[in-house]
Amino acid sequence: MEHFTVKHPVELIEALMSEVGYSTRTRARNALKRGEILVNGKTAFKGNDVLEPDTKVSILSKEEVEKKARTGGTGRKLKASHTTNVLRAPFPVVYEDENIFVYEKPANWVCASPNPKVKTTYTAVKAYLENKTEEEVDVHFVNKLPREASGLLVVAKSREWRQHLQEHWGSFAKGLYVMVEGHLAADDALLLRPENGDPYELEYRTMRATDRFTLLKFKSGYDVIRDMLPALRKQDCLLIGVGKTAPDPIKRGGIHLFALAIQGPNGETINVKTRVPNEFLKLVRGGSSPKPAPRGPKGKQRSEARPGRDAQSEKRRSTQSRKR
């Protein structure tokens, strides 16, 4: 890498011709287009930029340009013939700034494992963040999801942010899509009974339902799943893909953490969302969005009061028996 320091105000292209020795303005412009020129450490593309005294200009070799392109350092999209060298994120990136990195974990991926032979999202994301810059990167993983689930995972870029996010994780608003086999009263609530806590109602919205499956949306995180499972079974419903005896029509769990509202150490507010997984949409294709029934008496679990529920459950069991 060659360097020179500007001594007086001058256009970049003129400085390149006089200091580096490009014989024509066209050759100097081509060097700029290829990403070979850095001004104070940042890739420059405009030859008519005026440089101030003491500005440092660097000229990269072909090998250095290729290395920078692989790590995404040029800041420009390469031509089609060079796209194979561009570093790509291992998973969909939902949000990134100088403090956090949020990505969407696919189902059937392990977040972390003590076994180095197991492919994890931890190692894939850590390698990506380290390779996309030549500077040292601090990588701290904030939350986890089980292998069968998909959804938003957060990486903090400093210990301060990781500690703050983990300490306040329970207070952040979250959104969860849940796919079940069976039917519940539309836009109702489940009565959850935690082992070490008081019973409480968890409201949901019925997004879509077919004769067999129902897609639900909860304003909650993954931590409620343990208490949700017995509540669903009581309503003759099963969370798909979770447990040895659960139905597994799409070879994954029916859990997707789709929304997070994060607040940083200094009051920064970050809202992130993802879409309904395609596997969920295919499972309820052709279904309808049921309308909620009139609410039952206060204090009574509304799902238990749904008219005709026993008849519908019997019909579903009967349909499954015929299929067998």
Q: pLDDT tens, 65-75?
A: 777 766 555 44
pLDDT computed for residue 160 by the predictor: 95
Predicted pLDDT at 131: 84
pLDDT in tens, 18-44: 888 887 888 888 888 888 899 998 888
Q: What is the dihedral of CA 150, 151, 156, 160, to 10 degrees?
A: -110
Measuring CA to CA, which residue among 141, 125, 104 is closest to residue 274? 104
For residues 202 and 194, the answer to whether their CB atoms sit within 8 Å is: no
Is residue 147 classed as helix, strand or coil in its secondary structure? coil
CB 11 within 8 A of CB 47: yes
Q: What confidence score (pLDDT) does residue 3 get? A: 87
Q: Computed from CA positions of residues 225, 230, 231, 235, in that sequence, does the dihedral angle turn out positive or negative?
A: positive
Q: pLDDT tens across 75-123, in order?
A: 444 444 444 446 788 999 999 998 999 999 999 999 998 888 888 999 9
- pLDDT-above-90 percentage for the chain: 53
pLDDT in tens, 222-235: 999 999 999 999 99
Q: Is the pLDDT reported for residue 257 higher than 60?
A: yes
Residue 190 has phi, psi (to 5 degrees) of -100, 145
Q: Given a cut of 50, is residue 62 above it in pLDDT? A: yes
The pLDDT score that the predictor gives to residue 202 is: 96
What is the pLDDT at residue 76? 47
More confident position, 164 or 134? 164
* Predicted local distance difference test score (pLDDT) of residue 313: 47
Question: CB–CB of 52/8 below 8 Å?
Answer: no
- Residue 162 CA to residue 142 CA, distance in Å, equals 6
pLDDT of residue 61: 84
Q: Which of 153-157, 285-289, 307-311 has the lowest mean pLDDT?
A: 307-311
Q: What domains are there in the chain, each with its CATH number?
A: 2-85 (3.10.290.10), 90-324 (3.30.2350.10)
pTM for the full predicted model: 0.67
What is the pairing mode between strands 2-5 and 42-43? unpaired
Cα distance between residue 72 and residue 87, in whole Å: 6
